Structure 1
Amino acid sequence: MHVVDSARVTPRDVLTAYLDEQVERATPYGRDYHDLWTAIRETTLGGKQLRPELLMGTYRLLGGDDHPLAATVGAAVELLHAAFVLHDDVIDHDDTRRGRPTVNGRFTDSALAAGSAVGRADALGAAAGILAGDLALGAAVRLVATSDAAPHARQTLLDLVDHALFATAAGELADVRYSLGETPVDLAAVITMEALKTAVYSFELPLQAGAVLAGAGPHVLEHLGRFGRKVGIAFQLLDDVQGVFGASADTGKSVLTDLREGKHTPLVTHARTTAAWAVLQPVLGDPELTEADVEDVRRALETSGSRAFVEDLADDYLRAARDLARGPDLPEGFDTWFDSMTEAFVRRVA
């Protein structure tokens, strides 16, 4: 892979070059495999690049000036995100995202068009989604492991990626178990699950990776970890609200998904303690849930105060993050940059 050594190089530049190379390399392995990498490329490059932005911004504020190196690790973080999304689409049985077929949806559709039975087509789609996620995950680790980072920095980066993998897998598994509805889950457990599933890899990892590349010390890394955890939880809380109240065109996935899957989000956890539960319980986890049912759920969550509770909780986490952003371990201007980033990602889930 060749990327121009320039202060203008971006993670998207690195991603584009890397994924183009993988698509080209895939050709001798057959049409299906070539199509798989093409789908991975489209999924990954179609993202908003929030995580690379966090990494690059932190790196610059801490005095880093090797932009190609930071862009390479930023690309790795985005590939890691893509891997989790690809797997999550299979887990949640999502066949569309942002109005386009997911990788599993794409392969399912192609099998159906070729005359396969629904069950067999679904099996092919699930296999493609899992394999695509595996390939993206391997590519993310490879980019970090072969980067030009100094050996000690590279080892620390790999440790951070390893921690993110552990945390995300644990959070994802807990999310699925909670959706079984075997026992009530309290708010603290749900918040911990969401921190593991989202905050660690989406916020802690890119912030800390940027700091590692800039040569920051352990106090800065620890501070950024606590900061990233608060921001990540706030982000996920807002995303949960939009998962029910948002428009599919904005959120990228159906408003039916979380409810059909029986996700025990903070909205659901709070609703258990209110009159909204009488409306929510009968449809939670129902694969036949309709848009009309969602309207009833929305009204119940509004009138019971569950939506306001979760939005207020997100505000509390954001305020705590702002306090940490002004800490002495972080560089001057970090809080201002954070405010601009906060506005951007809140818009993305609003």
Structure 2
Amino acid sequence: MSPDSDAIAVVSQRVEEFLTVRRGETRGFGGESDVVQEAAEAAVRGGKRLRARFCLTGWEAVREHAGAAVTPDQPILAAAAALEIFHAAALVHDDIVDHSDTRRGKPAAHRALEAVHRDRRWDGDATDFGLAAALLLGDLLVAWSDDLLEEGLAQLDAERARAARREYSLMRREVTVGQFLDVAEESAYTGAAESTHADRALAVASLKSARYSIQRPLGLGARVAGGQPAQCDALAAFGHPLGMAFQLRDDVLGVFGDESQTGKPAGDDLREGKRTVLIAYAREGLTGGARRTFDELVGDPGLDAAQIATLQRAIEESGALARTEELIADYARRADKALIGAPLGTHAVGRLRDLATAATERAS
């Protein structure tokens, strides 16, 4: 296996070990607790383990520079696995907020729970049950992520544990506020100054994705390893612009991605009306009737394939796609520059560059 597939395997194994313990606990609760346990396991499994991979590599970068062993130990495995369980919670809640029916090519958690209600012929409204149950599922996953993180931190000295806990807590606050701002942006968009649309979208991307997906996971790994300020600063200077590039790539895929690879319907971001940088740039490049038509279509959940194609053409012809690609490349260059001369392990820096390429040039 490659080093990256090794990382995915060891983190997934740690997640499974944690789920096994929780499964035994849940059985003792009785009733229909098996439903939420099975839903939790389904939510946690799968995915690219991106946050865990950055966390492990941040830890490795500090350890390697110090000449210490870089075989993952229990504290860093627990931290990396906790990130993945928290991410599962975020996705469960995100799909409710976005009214998404699918996740990774399968029914979203609230839709899967809705189906359980129907299959078991329970009383009441299945849709209402699915939404309520998924909200509680997300809350349970957040609690589990805390439990697992603390299992790992208990094996560290007090100073490292405090630093890691602060990094993790900050990540949670940032992504929650970022998610709220994203929701608020869709409601306040028409009343805000058009000249600020792109800047506001970038601010949301910073909190909701750049810090959450890459910068803080790197920082968490570095803190668990006992990283010095210069090392943590270098990783942050690398992680934030890379996270911005990652989110912008995600925005492009949300409009132009292949459903067979992304696991979500083509053009789904257009149906949801996500106010991304790509959309802001498109509106800047369109005028008159073309922009009015664009605004009327974006956010319509009933968009058909022909209308999606019309919007895709408008985005390309407005120059928005090219501008976004240029911005992705610029952020990627900034990230790479931050690694030059950084007090980090040489092998780990190479791994960070590989992860950067995978995050910004992905096709799915």
- What is the TM-score with the length of structure 2 in the denominator? 0.88
Report SS of the residue matched to 1:287.
coil
Residue of structure 2 in register with 1:150 after alignment: 157
- Residue aligning to 1:17: 17
The counterpart of 2:100, out of the listed 54, 78, 94, is 94
Query: Cα deviations across residues 129-177 of structure 1 (Å, max 9, x unaligned)?
Result: 2111111111111112222222221111111111111111111111111
Alpha-carbon distance, 1:113 to partner: 4.2
Equivalent in the alignment of 2:41? 41
State whether structure 2 residue 220 is matched by structure 1 residue 209. yes
Partner SS state of residue 297, structure 2: coil
Write out aligned runs for 1:238-317 (5 A): 238-275=249-286, 277-317=291-331
Residue identity opposite 2:125 in structure 1: R
Q: CA RMSD in A?
A: 2.2
Indicate whether 1:322 and 2:336 are aligned. yes
2:89 is equivalent to residue 83 of structure 1: yes
Q: 1:124 aligns with which of 129, 134, 147?
A: 129
**Residues of 2 paired with 1:186 and 1:245: CA distance?**
21
Q: Which amino acid is the alignment partner of residue 105 of structure 1?
A: R
Q: Which moved more, 1:134-143 or 1:182-191?
A: 182-191
How far has the Cα of 1:114 moved from its partner?
5.1
SS in structure 2 of the partner of residue 155 of structure 1: helix
How far the C-alpha of 1:216 sits from its partner, in A, is 1.2
Superposed displacement of residue 310, structure 1: 0.7
Q: Which amino acid aligns with 2:168?
A: V
Instruction: Answer whether contact 1:248 1:254 (CA < 8 A) is retained.
Output: yes
Worse-matched range after superposition: 206-215 or 64-73: 64-73
1:138 aligns with 2:138: no
Residues in 2 aligned to 1:212 and 1:9: alpha-carbon distance in whole angstroms: 23
Shift of 1:84: 0.8
Question: Any stretches of 5+ residues in structure 1 without a counterpart?
Answer: 1-6
Structure 2 residue ranges without an equivalent (≥5)? 1-6
- Count the aligned residue pairs: 343
Matched, 1:109 2:123: no
Alpha carbons 2:51, 2:83 under 8 Å: kept: yes
Counterpart AA for 2:82: A
Q: Among residues 220, 229, 235, which one is paired with 1:218 in the alignment?
A: 229
One-letter amino acid matched to 2:228: G
Cα deviation, residue 287, structure 1: 2.2
Amino acid at match of 2:161: R
Between the aligned partners of 2:119 and 2:34, the Cα distance in structure 1 is 19
1:174 matched to 2:172: no
Letter in 1 for 2:62: L
Asked if 1:160 corresponds to 2:167, the answer is: yes
Distance 1:259 1:46 in 2: 26
User: In the superposition, relative to structure 1, how do residues 191 and 8 fare at CA in structure 2: closer, same or farther (>3 Å)?
Assistant: closer
Q: 1:311 offset after TM fit, Å?
A: 1.2
Alpha-carbon contact 1:81-1:202 (below 8 Å) kept:
no
What residue is the counterpart of 1:236 in the other structure?
247
Distance 1:223 1:61, change over 3 A: closer
How far did residue 32 of structure 1 move? 3.3
Contact 2:57 2:352 in 1 (8 A): no
Structure 1 residue 313, shift from structure 2 partner: 0.6
C-alpha distance in 2 between matches for 1:307 and 1:255 = 16
CA–CA distance in structure 2, aligned partners of residues 231 and 14 of structure 1: 27
Pairing 1:56–2:56 present: yes
How far did 1:281 drift?
0.7
Task: Kindly state the Cα deviation for residue 224 of structure 1 after the two structures are TM-superposed.
Answer: 1.4
Name the CA distance, whole Å, in 2 between partners of 1:332 and 1:114. 56
- Secondary structure in structure 1 of the residue aligned to 2:84: helix
C-alpha distance in structure 2 between counterparts of 1:274 and 1:244, whole Å: 17
Identity %: 29
CA contact (8 A) 1:187 1:266 kept: yes
Deviation of 1:31 (Å): 5.2
- Seen in structure 2, the aligned counterparts of structure 1 residues 347 and 315 have a Cα distance that, compared at 3 Å, is closer
1:72 Cα offset (Å): 1.2
Contact 2:12/2:81 (<8 A) preserved: yes
Contact map agreement 1:279 1:296 (CA 8 A) in 2:
no
Q: Which residue of 1 aligns with 2:75?
A: 69
The 1:233–1:31 alpha-carbon spacing in structure 2 relative to 1, beyond 3 Å, is: farther
Alignment match, 2:28: 28
Q: Give the conservation status (yes or no) of the 8 Å contact 1:44–1:78.
A: yes
